[in-house]
Amino acid sequence: MKAILADNEKVLEIIREELTEIKERFNDTRRTEIVTAGIETIEDEDLIPVENIVITLTHNGYIKRLPASTYRSQKKRGGKGVQGMGTNEDDFVEQLISTSTHDTILFFSNKGRFIVRRDMRFLNSDGQRKGFRLLTCLK
């Protein structure tokens, strides 16, 4: 054993023999096929599930997104219903937009400018929160 370890040529010869034996033992044809044609690029939108959502805009410039399943029909008369958005005392819901997570929304300013956004960029919120400042979301 010491004689083998002392001679570099013998060590390399043993390694060659063992590798040749492994090659002969496991050498078979490839079982899978490598295909380069037809590979598609994946966009961010492909990773987002299609979901019906409701976007709420308030008078004071707050926006938020809720799943459409949050809103449901009221079964009994005199019920309280579902709170869709918490607002300040001087604020109120001005627009309610029913859309999908894959739709594009255009925001128009009073100065004639517009911004194109995918509604998926607005963070989800619950019915109690007032949402996020629209100006912050559009920057």
Please report, as a single letter, which amino acid is at residue 53: I
Exposed/middle/buried for residue 91 (C-beta within 10 Å: 0-12, 13-18, 19+): middle
CA 82 to chain centre: 27
CA 100 to chain centre: 14
Q: Is residue 62 a contact partner of residue 133, using CB atoms and an 8 Å limit?
A: yes
What's the whole-number mean pLDDT along residues 110-129?
A: 73
Q: What is the mean pLDDT of the chain?
A: 80
Q: Note the pLDDT of residue 20.
A: 94
Model confidence at 83: pLDDT above 80: no
Whole-model pTM?
Answer: 0.57
Q: Note the pLDDT of residue 13.
A: 94
Going by pLDDT thresholds of 50, 70 and 90, the confidence category of residue 119 is low
Q: What is the Rg, in whole angstroms, of the alpha carbon atoms belonging to the chain? A: 32
Q: Note the pLDDT of residue 16.
A: 96
* Residue bearing the bigger pLDDT, 110 or 89: 110
**Other residues' Cβ atoms within 10 Å of the Cβ of residue 84:** 16
Q: Note the pLDDT of residue 19.
A: 95
Domain ranges of the chain: 44-138
